[in-house]
Amino acid sequence: MVSIPESHRDLLDAPFATLATIGPDGRPQLSEVWFLSEGDTVAISLNTSRQKTKNLERQRQCSLLIVDLAEPYRYLEIRGDAELAPDDDYAFADRVGAKYQSDLRQHDGPGERRVVVRIRPHRVHAVDMRG
């Protein structure tokens, strides 16, 4: 597996990232997401009713972009494949909620479920274009 360089590991503590998935029409769909880092993978809690989840169920390729908000010329792009696993007991969602001081159950409607999406990197671009 590809690793994230030390020079950009601090971005794994960023407040949010942009997740790119491939929609049913073949065009990209972008969404801001909350995430947790787990070594060289990034994990996201998603509701199964959302389009981005449906996109990943159909096509696992995705990209995650994390921009350094203090230095926007510095960013980390993780290209990889998503692995989806049920989170019916909200164990992972509760960990995400703890980071963001939010109860993810409040974002879900009756009968909706959650999944853990882990992005396994195939390629990592650690960019720093500061002069």
Q: Is residue 19 part of a domain?
A: yes
**What are the tens digits of pLDDT across the range 101-130?**
999 999 999 989 999 999 999 999 999 998
Does any domain span residue 62? yes
Q: What pTM does this model have?
A: 0.93
71 part of a folded domain: yes
Domain annotation covers residue 117: yes
1 is a domain residue: no
The domain total for the chain is 1
pLDDT at 88: 94
Where on the phi/psi map is residue 39: left (φ > 0), alpha (ψ -120 to 50), or beta?
A: left
Q: Is residue 21, in this structure, part of any structural domain at all?
A: yes
**Domain span at residue 54?**
6-128
What CATH number is associated with residue 86? 2.30.110.10
CA distance 17 to 11: 9
Residue 96 domain flag = yes
What average pLDDT does the segment 40-48 reach?
95
CA dist 73 to 28, 66, 67, 94, Å? 23, 11, 8, 33
The per-residue pLDDT for 2 is 87
What are residue 27's DSSP bridge partners?
none
